[in-house]
Chain A
Amino acid sequence: MRNIHAPILYAEDNLMDIELTKEAYASLQLQNPLEIVRDGRELMDFLHCEGAYADRYPDMPILILLDNKMPRITGLEVLKQLKSHPKFKHIPVVMMTSSSLDSDIRRGYELGANAYVMKAVDFDELQECLADILQFWVKRNYTIHL
């Protein structure tokens, strides 16, 4: 019961990163829509179908890509909220960090992150990385729908 309409939710505050990721995503030709939220609050609004997302089709995302570093509520804080929420804790969360030497990685796993990837500086590598993530988490992995 793979849902090709289920969105992939990408939480990222940086506009240029969003654009690069959208470009990389477009080249992969997946059917699932890539939805962008700009911070933790928007992400929660999206999941709860509230605020700007009150009228969206209430599909649960198949995957959440979460930037480690966001203004106000950090990525880790959002992760904690997600993983302690009975309705959302099963959604796979792939954390995106700028540095493989990040000291937050340990904390991220403790909070229940499903994977950590580094945002590569090389665009081709970034694209490859995104392809790998989606190949596994969207095409191979099974999740449950509560």
Chain B
Amino acid sequence: MNSASPTTSIASSVLHKLDVPVAYFDPQLVCQYCNPAYARYWQSPTEKLLQKPLYTTWKAHLAVLTPYLADVLRGTDGRIHLTPPEPDALSTLVQLIAHAPEGRVEGFHLVVYPEADTPSQVQHLKQELEALAYSISHDFRAPLRHIEGFSRLLQGKVESHEALAQDADTLKYLDYIRKGATELSTMIDALLQYSRLGRRNLHCTPLDMTAIAQQAVTDAQALHRSRHIDWEVEVLPPAYGDTDMIEYLLELLIDNAVKFTPADALARIHIGSTIHTEGKPPTYFVRDNGVGFDPAFRDNLFGVFQRLHRHDEYPGIGIGLAHASRIIHRHHGRIWADAALDQGATFFFELP
């Protein structure tokens, strides 16, 4: 790592003082250099890391790292999100940068970007959030139950009261109170689910996207027997992610497509993908021939309780796509949509 060139000497002095952990490995995966931040990251003195093989320090993540190590030794850089198995730790981004001055790989740099706060802060925040979620689920629901229940009982009294029973407004107002309480309860559930999606641990494995999509379609068919839907499911490239969450993602996108296609005509829902040049993940999509949406509001699509259609036209509280977006963000992927009013909508997503 030593050289007479001024750029190299600047680079090494910056590297030394940088707060970002950096190490350099030779093609045999033996550590030839590491900066003090890297030593701090492993809470180990530099001498104990130098000349040690990569798999001794990174053994917990070896299964995930191995294919990327093979790539970097062939000259292809990589970015890998490591999700630690323990619930309190945060995920880490590792970047691998090949060093190939004359086209031949002489080694590679490994850069670590820890993605946030210390575990104790995180632990504290998680406990606070858990307490809040618990409080919302229990404490908010009891008064709602009372509003709903006593309105129902009052409705019974009104119905059996000669004069009041003639007054349509009285019964209507009571009905509105009950509907409001029930809707708020649904929203509380949705918000809790949203918070859980953000907190639960990811168990990432290779995913057979074709099988997941087909299963989601089978489930949707069972759920919407009365609908005429022409389904098309392409063979999809595999992905890497949390099975439960990605299954739920497909379910959400398909639900959305079913909901916004006309119930009285033939709906067409197409699940497919686009494969890009190497190094870029494939783009999956769910396309429908439904009502679409005004592209001017596309940014609102994925917000919590955001709706682009009137409540009496399409039921729901506006949480499905927010859940979808949260799942994608947990995977460090991308989700977006394309549509024109009355010309169907396409939802795209990518998983790194």
Contacts and interface: CB of A to CB of B under 8 A. Distances in A.
Interface of A: 14, 16-17, 20, 23, 69, 97-103, 119-124, 126
Nearest to B133: A101
State the 7 A-B residue pairs at the shortest beta-carbon distance, nearest first: A99-B137, A123-B152, A121-B185, A20-B149, A123-B149, A98-B138, A16-B146
B175 interface: no
B138 A69 contact: yes
Interface of B is mostly: helix
Interface string B173-199: 000001001100100010011001000
Nearest to B192: A101
A121 B196 contact: no
B275 interface: no
B148 A121 contact: yes
A120 B145 CA distance: 7
B189 A17 contact: no
B336 interface: no
Which of B133, B148, B149 is packed against the most chain A CB atoms within 10 Å? B149
A123 B138 contact: no
B145 A124 contact: no
A122 B148 contact: yes
A123 B192 contact: no
B150 interface: yes
B175 to A, nearest CB: 12
Contact of B137 (A14, A23, A98, A120): A98
B14 interface: no
Interface string B234-260: 000000000000000000000000000
B142 interface: yes
B182 A103 contact: no
B41 interface: no
A67 B189 CA distance: 20
A16 B137 contact: no
B141 interface: yes
Given A23-B153, A101-B196, A121-B181, A126 B145 contact: yes
Interface string B113-154: 000000000000000001001100110011011101111110
Contact of A121 (B133, B134, B145): B145
Contacts, number: 58
Contacts of A100: 189
Contacts of B149: 16, 20, 23, 123, 126
Contacts of A98: 137-138, 141-142, 145
Interface of B: 130, 133-134, 137-138, 141-142, 144-146, 148-153, 178, 181-182, 185, 189, 192-193, 196
B134 A103 contact: yes
Contacts of A69: 138
B152 A124 contact: yes
A14 B189 CA distance: 22
Given A122-B182, A123-B152, A126-B145, 17 more contacts: A14-B142, A16-B150, A20-B145, A20-B146, A23-B153, A69-B138, A98-B137, A98-B138, A100-B189, A101-B133, A101-B189, A119-B145, A121-B145, A121-B185, A122-B148, A123-B153, A124-B152
B239 to A, nearest CB: 28
A100 B185 CA distance: 12
Contact of B138 (A16, A99, A120, A122): A99
B138 to A, nearest CB: 4
Contacts of B182: 121-122
A20 B189 contact: no
A2 B195 CA distance: 46
Contacts of A119: 141, 145
Contacts of B196: 101
